[in-house]
């Protein structure tokens, strides 16, 4: 057991945003976990929102929800998937949360009449958020959102500069992620942006210990030496970060460059064993060279113009592919297209349909058309949150004969509100942090497909929604052939539904994608992809049979 003090790694970014700091931090975490260390990762976001819960998915991608109900940045999903630890509200900090905390203390008089300032009060609150994660962890990795040079991130950078002074240089490590752009007209890679970015960081008082350089082309040794010379970093600590086929290959690429050895040497963790990455290498091999071909999945949603809006759904489908040793090809289809003249018959070219979560009425009728086609044509269907609610509405209209069935969220005066507001939500006026959030237990009907998939009768999944299935309509739904296969422990809330006479038709009110990991694919996604493979194989066999029949008919006529 490691008895050394907790070590701290700070990951910053320069030149441009969206370089992949989250993947870099998560990959470093994976390497350290593979060495037997206890690792946690947190994200500091410089925006003033208290959390991303009220942000549009087009602004900030998906909202990742933790077990304890925190609405967080999507990078926490990467952290959980790579490190294998369920994170909490303590792992996601925004400028808004920090200022809210400090102002509340000031209002309570906890500063004893002092003038409240960025230094020391804001920076002290930031350092407390870092220190809070130290117990029971050997390494705390902190990613600073934004780009060096942004005014919003300055308090966070000042706080981590101070933190090194407080806990000691031997216990802290600064890693800076930059871009080495390729100028096509000149046919050259350029190091100047990286030099300027590091210089700006040094002006704040932070000297990076390791540089991770994103590049579309190989960085030659002489360029690495030049970068090291002008940034005051060891040559061995200039790490190349090229694009790879799968994000899960990044830890292996870092390992090939001995990044983990650099980290351990600089933090005094040399006595840790070499990383055991055998199982990780196997899953990457399955991602890159699957043995069972390809399945095509249609994801029909509202925010498909920005795939990051469904990042966990995307990764979970890939995990389902890993579980079945098959490549999952995802086509992102706008549900509005099915409202504007595009026929749902288009789904015939896919092996599965997934309807993800979302808010608002836009595109809902298109989702209903897609679900109806999947239900009638035996296409494997997987509904998540809004996907369950739209499946209820479609079934109510098409099978139960409730032609005006709708959700009270979008049509308050509907005569058949098959989806309605939770009683606990009726008096809620604030939007942020007031939904049904976090992990809830559900009980599954023994013998149901859901129970078979999970391998048990009691489960726990994370939620993020306000509206529920209206219990007044449950008898009609069940009489028409729908199985309510999962409910809350008291039986009052519908958690899962399925159609027993359909090849694979399952929907959940929860967000199972939030708990799926590459080395532990979520059972619902694994089963859904397996059903898509069966659909593909059945279609292929039908094609073969038809071709064989067509080939034999002329011969039969001659013989006749």
Instruction: For 383-408, write each residue's pLDDT tens digit.
Output: 999 999 999 999 999 999 999 999 99
Distance CA 286, CA 290 (A): 5
CA nearest to 174, candidates 132, 138, 207: 207
3-class DSSP state of 233:
coil
Task: Quote the tokens at residue 369.
Answer: 């058309």
Determine contact, residues 497/485, Cβ cutoff 8 Å: yes
> Is the model's pLDDT at 51 over the cut of 90?
no
User: What does the pLDDT read at residue 560?
Assistant: 35
CA nearest to 261, candidates 252, 251, 253, 269: 269
Strands 352-355 and 405-407: unpaired
CA nearest to 34, candidates 216, 228, 272, 227: 272
CA nearest to 532, candidates 337, 362, 287, 320: 320
Task: Quote the tokens at residue 87.
Answer: 């994170």
> Is the model's pLDDT at 556 over the cut of 50?
no
Helix axes 311-324, 523-559, angle to 10 degrees: 60
Tokens 């397996």 belong to 530
Determine contact, residues 419/408, Cβ cutoff 8 Å: yes
Q: What is the pLDDT of residues 271-300, one digit of tens each?
A: 899 999 999 999 999 999 999 999 999 999
Task: Quote the tokens at residue 294.
Answer: 């390809």
Q: What is the pLDDT of residues 178-204, one digit of tens each?
A: 999 999 898 899 999 999 999 999 999
User: What does the pLDDT read at residue 240?
Assistant: 96
Mean pLDDT of the chain: 92
> Is the model's pLDDT at 427 over the cut of 90?
no
> Is the model's pLDDT at 429 over the cut of 60?
no
Tokens 């005051």 belong to 232
**Ramachandran class of 18: left when φ > 0, alpha when ψ lies in -120 to 50, beta otherwise:** left
Distance CA 542, CA 76 (A): 44
Q: Which residues of 132-149 are buried (b: 16+ CB within 10 A; e: fewer)?
A: ebbeebbbbbbbbbbbbe
Q: What is the pLDDT of residues 292-338, one digit of tens each?
A: 999 999 999 998 888 889 999 999 999 999 999 999 999 999 999 99
CA nearest to 241, candidates 203, 266, 213, 199: 213
Q: What is the pLDDT of residues 2-14, one digit of tens each?
A: 457 999 999 999 9
Q: Which residues are catalytically annotated?
A: 385, 511, 513
Strands 182-183 and 188-189: antiparallel
CA 402 from centroid of its chain's CA atoms: 36
Per-residue pLDDT averaged across 509-531, rounded?
97
Distance CA 78, CA 69 (A): 17
With 0-12 CB in 10 A as exposed, 13-18 as middle and 19+ as buried, what is 102? buried
Instruction: Kindly list the distances between the CA atom of residue 288 and the CA atoms of 8, 264, 291, 449, in Å, as whole numbers in the listed order.
Output: 33, 29, 10, 31
CA nearest to 90, candidates 67, 70, 62: 70
84 HSE (CA, 13 A, CB side):
13
CA nearest to 225, candidates 215, 235, 233: 235
Instruction: Calculate Rg over the CA atoms of the chain.
Output: 26
Task: Quote the tokens at residue 129.
Answer: 């958020």
Tokens 């993020």 belong to 464
> Is the model's pLDDT at 540 over the cut of 80?
no
Distance CA 57, CA 526 (A): 26
User: What does the pLDDT read at residue 559?
Assistant: 41
**Ramachandran class of 84: left when φ > 0, alpha when ψ lies in -120 to 50, beta otherwise:** left
User: What does the pLDDT read at residue 557?
Assistant: 42
- Kindly report the number of other CB atoms within 10 A of residue 151's CB atom: 8
Q: Which residues of 164-184 are buried (b: 16+ CB within 10 A; e: fewer)?
A: beebeeebbbbbbbbbbbeee
Per-residue pLDDT averaged across 139-143, rounded?
98
Distance CA 30, CA 44 (A): 20
Per-residue pLDDT averaged across 424-453, rounded?
79
Write out the DSSP string of 42-110: EEEE-SSSSSGGGS-HHHH-PPEE-TT--EE-THHHHHHHHH-----GGGEEEHHHHHHHHHHHHHTTT
- Kindly report the number of other CB atoms within 10 A of residue 99's CB atom: 17
CA 261 from centroid of its chain's CA atoms: 28
Percent of residues, the chain, with pLDDT higher than 90? 83
User: What does the pLDDT read at residue 387?
Assistant: 96
CA 164 from centroid of its chain's CA atoms: 31
**pLDDT range class, residue 56, cuts 50, 70, 90:** confident
Q: What is the pLDDT of residues 207-260, one digit of tens each?
A: 999 999 999 999 999 999 999 999 999 999 999 999 999 999 999 999 999 999
409 HSE (CA, 13 A, CB side):
23
Distance CA 344, CA 348 (A): 8
> Is the model's pLDDT at 542 over the cut of 90?
no
User: What does the pLDDT read at residue 305?
Assistant: 87
CA nearest to 499, candidates 402, 408, 417, 379: 379
Per-residue pLDDT averaged across 344-372, rounded?
93
Q: What is the pLDDT of residues 443-486, one digit of tens each?
A: 999 999 999 999 999 999 999 988 999 999 999 999 999 999 99
More confident residue, 17 or 44: 44
Lowest mean pLDDT among 43-57, 123-137, 275-289, 297-311: 43-57
Distance CA 21, CA 17 (A): 9
> Is the model's pLDDT at 70 over the cut of 80?
yes
Percent of residues, the chain, with pLDDT higher than 70? 93
């Amino acid at each position: 057991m490691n008895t050394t003090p907790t070590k701290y790694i700070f990951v910053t970014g320069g030149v441009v945003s969206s370089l992949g700091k989250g993947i870099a931090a998560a990959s470093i975490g994976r390497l350290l976990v593979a060495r037997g260390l206890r690792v946690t990762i947190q994200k500091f976001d410089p925006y003033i929102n208290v959390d991303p819960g009220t942000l549009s998915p087009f602004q900030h991608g998906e909202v990742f929800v933790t077990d304890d109900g925190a609405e967080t940045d999507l990078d926490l999903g990467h952290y959980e998937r790579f490190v294998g630890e369920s994170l909490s509200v303590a792992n996601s900090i925004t400028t808004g949360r920090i200022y809210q905390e400090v102002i509340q203390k000031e209002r309570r008089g906890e500063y004893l009449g002092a003038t409240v300032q960025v230094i020391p009060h804001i920076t002290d609150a930031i350092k407390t958020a870092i220190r809070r994660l130290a117990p029971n962890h050997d390494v705390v990795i902190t990613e600073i959102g934004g780009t060096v040079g942004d005014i919003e991130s300055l308090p966070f950078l000042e706080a981590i500069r101070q933190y090194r002074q407080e806990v000691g240089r031997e216990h802290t490590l600064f890693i800076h992620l930059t871009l080495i752009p390729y100028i096509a007209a000149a046919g050259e890679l350029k190091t100047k942006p990286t030099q300027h970015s590091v210089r700006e960081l040094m002006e704040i008082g932070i000297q990076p210990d390791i540089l991770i350089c994103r590049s579309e082309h190989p960085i030659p040794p002489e360029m690495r030496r030049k970068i090291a010379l002008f940034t005051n970093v060891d040559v061995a600590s200039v790490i190349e970060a090229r694009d790879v086929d799968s994000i899960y290959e990044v830890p292996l690429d870092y390992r090939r460059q001995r990044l983990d050895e650099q980290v351990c040497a600089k933090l005094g963790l040399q006595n840790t064993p070499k990383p055991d990455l055998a199982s990780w290498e196997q899953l990457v091999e399955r991602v890159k060279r699957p043995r069972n071909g390809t399945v095509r999945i249609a994801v029909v949603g509202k925010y498909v113009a920005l795939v990051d809006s469904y990042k966990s759904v995307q990764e979970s489908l890939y995990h389902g592919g890993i579980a079945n040793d098959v490549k999952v090809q995802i086509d992102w289809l706008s549900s509005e297209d099915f409202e504007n003249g595009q026929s749902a018959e288009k789904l015939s070219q896919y092996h599965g349909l997934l309807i993800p979560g979302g808010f608002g009425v836009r595109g809902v009728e298109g989702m209903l058309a897609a679900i109806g086609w999947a239900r009638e044509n035996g296409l494997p269907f997987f509904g998540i949150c809004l996907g369950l609610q739209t499946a209820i509405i479609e079934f109510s209209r098409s099978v139960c004969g409730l032609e005006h069935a709708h959700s009270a969220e979008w049509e308050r005066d509907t005569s058949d509100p098959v989806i309605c507001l939770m009683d606990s939500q009726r008096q809620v006026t604030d939007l942020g942090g007031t939904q049904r959030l976090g992990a809830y237990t559900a009980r599954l009907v023994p013998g149901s497909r859901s129970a078979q998939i999970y391998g048990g009768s009691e489960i726990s999944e994370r939620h993020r929604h306000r509206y529920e299935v209206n219990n007044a309509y449950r008898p009609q739904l069940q009489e028409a052939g729908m199985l309510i296969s999962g409910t809350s422990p008291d039986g009052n809330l519908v958690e899962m539904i399925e159609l027993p006479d359909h090849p694979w038709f399952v929907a959940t009110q929860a967000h199972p994608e939030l708990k799926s990991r590459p080395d532990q694919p979520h059972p619902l996604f694994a089963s859904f992809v397996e059903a898509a493979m069966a659909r593909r194989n059945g279609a292929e066999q039908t094609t073969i049979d038809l071709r064989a029949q067509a080939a034999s008919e002329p011969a039969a006529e001659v013989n006749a």
